[in-house]
Structure formats: structure tokens, C-alpha cells
Amino acid sequence: MALRNGRRWIRSYEKVALPEAGEGFQRLRDQGVYLITGGLGGIGLALAGELARRSRAKLVLMGRTAARTEAIAALEALGAQVELVAGDAANATDLRAAIARANERFGALHGVIHAAGIPGGGLIQLRDRAAAEAVFAGKLQGAMALATALDGLALDFVALCSSVTAVVAMPGQADYVAANAALDALAAAQSRQGQRWLSINWDAWREAGMAARLDSPELASFRTEMLRDGLSNAEGASCFGAALGSGLAQVIVSTHPLAARLAQPRALDIAAPPKPAATAGESLAAAPGAPLPDLDEVEQRIATVWQEMLGVHRVGVHDNFFELGGTSLIGIKIIGRLRSELGVEISEVGLFQAPTVSTLAGLIRDARTQTAPADEAQTRGQRRRERRTRR
């Protein structure tokens, strides 16, 4: 939203009829030379395969990981020539070296696909600056380095792999949303200067890409949902060709109508949790704060705190904290209280690792076991000091 000269402007999006994928791929040169950053990642390799099939491309694949020999052999079987360049896309020196290698081996560079980056994921209150900078590095810093390194070169296209999360924000993705929104802005700025830059806001790919690699425990349910309706590699390749032929600076690829998604943005529920009459799992009837039968000391304390903090009347050893109405913020408060009452050090993400009374109790027992030897050693040291003082 923007306020300009007394007027309020709201960004909106239009559904566009894109050309068939084949028309976009017609813009590729036969045996054209294309650099793909993140070229050994899932989406990078999927798009490399399509370039190989469509134009027998000469591919320069840049990545920090070891070469995937089977994938390279498959590209060469499709008629591609492949040059591997080890380097970090966020490092301007490495990027210039990759471009120089393309010119040295193949004589020219015709296009770039920027697919480098790592997924974000995690509650913003638990993320530190270093974690956010790591998300910005390959994706955003790499794109900025590309803009500098490619300045003055007349390429057929530069395609940035952005994400639909920059348009329809997902929970736990603050750093990732910011990085992709910056890619969209960069593509728009370069296009205004006459450069053929395109930002593609990808929905999840179910066979490759960051959604498939997202391992943040607190976002597991969203990962499952994204992958269920995600793009196949073939669909992604087809959409890439259509976007390439569009002539637009930004194309959003959404597997569901975008207007509906914008009307109901996803957010973590931090309102007062519901108070279910019954819960799934092995539930034990009790009033909040009342003793629960057949539980040991740790399980008893956990269940009682859950009842009080969630306002739930039925808690069982196998009940799931989040299915009882628990939220991330309430979970952080509960962990803080259990730390204080049980005298144990457990992480703020403990409930995501162990979301039931039983598993959380096990986590706490493990933490106690790990700290016990240190406590015992400290006690022995204290006794020795006391004996020396008496002597």
C-alpha cells in the first residue's frame, strides 16, 4: 500500500493468459549458453534438463555442493554440454569466475537462471540475525552480485527464482519472504532500465525445491499442505517456458486461484485457544490443576501446566499440544514455566520436537540426565573447597 498525493494505492494482481510453453522456449538459442546458479539443486537441475531437451544447451552449473554425476550424465544424454563451477553465488568473485568460465569454454553467455538459495523457516522470535543473513545470502546477495557482474551484457534473459510467499505470506517465513520480495523489486528495476529480467514467484514444487527440503518442525503441517498441491517437475518446466515468453518482469505461479489466497492469508493463530470438550488420544478426565492419575512427577507437572495455560479440562499422556489449541507463543511461555518449576534447561522449540506429554517428559528426563554429571562434579568440587577451608 502507498499514499501518494492524497491518494491511497493498493497493489493488485491480474490473471494473465500466457503463451504456450513452447512459444517461450522458442526464445532459446539452439545450443545457447546458460548459467544456472544453484544449478545442482532440485529446481536448478529440473530447469537445466528442460533447456537441454529444448535447445541442446551449453550449461554452466554453479553450486557449492559436490557434483551429482548421475544428474550430469542425464543432461549430457539429452544433448547438453555441461560445465561445473564450484562457488558461492553470493560471492561476487565466484560469480565473475563462473561467467568468465562460460565465456572461456563456450564463447558467450546468453541467459542466466538464478536458483540459488536456502529455505527460511522458524518463529521470528527464535531466529537470530545470522540465520536470517544465511537466507539472504545466496538468494538476495547472489541476485545483487549478478546485477553488478552482468552490467553491460546484452543477455536474452535473466530469470530469478522467487517465491509465491512474497505475495501470499506463509507463517514462519519472515526472512524468506523479505528475500524474495527483494528479488521481485530487483527484476522490476532492471526491466525499467531495458534489461530482460524476470522474477518468477514459484509455488511449491513437490519433487524438488525448498518446500521439499523445509525441515523446521514448527512448520511441518504447512510443508505437508504445500507439497500436497505442489508442482511436478514437468509442470514447473512448462510454467517456466510460459513465463519466459510472457515479456513480463514478474509472473506468479500459483496452484490455487490467487485472489482466494490473498483474501484468506495464512497466519499463526495467537488468539485465545479453543476449549475442546474432549481431545484425541488417551485422555484423562480432570479439572484444571487437579492431580492426574497414573502419571509420574514430570508428566504430572507438564499436564497440569498445559491444563492451566490452555484452559483444557482433559489432558492425556499422548495428547498433542497443538491439537489441544496450543500456539507457538503459548508454547514458549509453557517452556519457560517448566524450566523454572522443574529446574531443567530445555529449548524454546522443545514442544515442536516433543509435542505430547509423554514425549516432552522424555525430553526433560534426557536434559536432567545430561546435567546430572556436571552437577555432581560441581558438588564434589564444593565439598573439597569446604574441607580445605576447615583445614
Instruction: Give me the pLDDT at residue 276, please.
Output: 41
Residue 71 placed within a domain? yes
Give the CATH number of the domain where residue 228 resides. 3.40.50.720
Residue 158 placed within a domain? yes
Q: Please indicate, yes or no, whether residues 356 and 295 belong to a single structural domain of this protein.
A: yes
120 pLDDT tier (thresholds 50, 70, 90): confident
Residues 6+ apart with CB under 8 A from 17: none
pTM, rounded to two decimals: 0.69
Q: Contact at 8 Å (CB) between 225 and 213?
A: no
Q: Please indicate, yes or no, whether residues 310 and 341 belong to a single structural domain of this protein.
A: yes
Beta bridge partners of 113: 36, 159
Average pLDDT over residues 128-144: 91
Q: Please indicate, yes or no, whether residues 83 and 220 belong to a single structural domain of this protein.
A: yes
**Three-state DSSP state, 180:** helix
Q: Please indicate, yes or no, whether residues 190 and 67 belong to a single structural domain of this protein.
A: yes
Query: How would you classify the pairing of strands 58-63 and 7-9?
Result: unpaired
Position 378 pLDDT exceeds 70: no
Q: Please indicate, yes or no, whether residues 200 and 82 belong to a single structural domain of this protein.
A: yes
**Residue 81 burial by CB count (10 A; 0-12/13-18/19+): exposed, middle or buried?**
middle
Q: Assign residue 311 a region (left: φ > 0; alpha: ψ between -120 and 50; beta: otherwise).
A: left
Q: Please indicate, yes or no, whether residues 189 and 318 belong to a single structural domain of this protein.
A: no
Q: How many domains does the chain have?
A: 2
Q: Contact at 8 Å (CB) between 186 and 159?
A: no
82 pLDDT tier (thresholds 50, 70, 90): very high
Residue 1 placed within a domain? no
**Residue 208 burial by CB count (10 A; 0-12/13-18/19+): exposed, middle or buried?**
buried
Residue 273 placed within a domain? no
**Residue 340 burial by CB count (10 A; 0-12/13-18/19+): exposed, middle or buried?**
exposed
Q: Which three cell numbers stand for residue 270?
A: 495467537
Of 229, 263, 297, the one marking the end of a domain is 263
Instruction: Give me the pLDDT at residue 32, please.
Output: 96
Instruction: Give me the pLDDT at residue 252, please.
Output: 96
Q: For residue 369, give its domain range.
A: 284-390
Q: Please indicate, yes or no, whether residues 299 and 239 belong to a single structural domain of this protein.
A: no
Distance CA 149, CA 99 (A): 8
Output the CA angle 210-211-213, nearest 5 degrees: 65
Q: Please indicate, yes or no, whether residues 102 and 206 belong to a single structural domain of this protein.
A: yes
Q: Contact at 8 Å (CB) between 122 and 328?
A: no
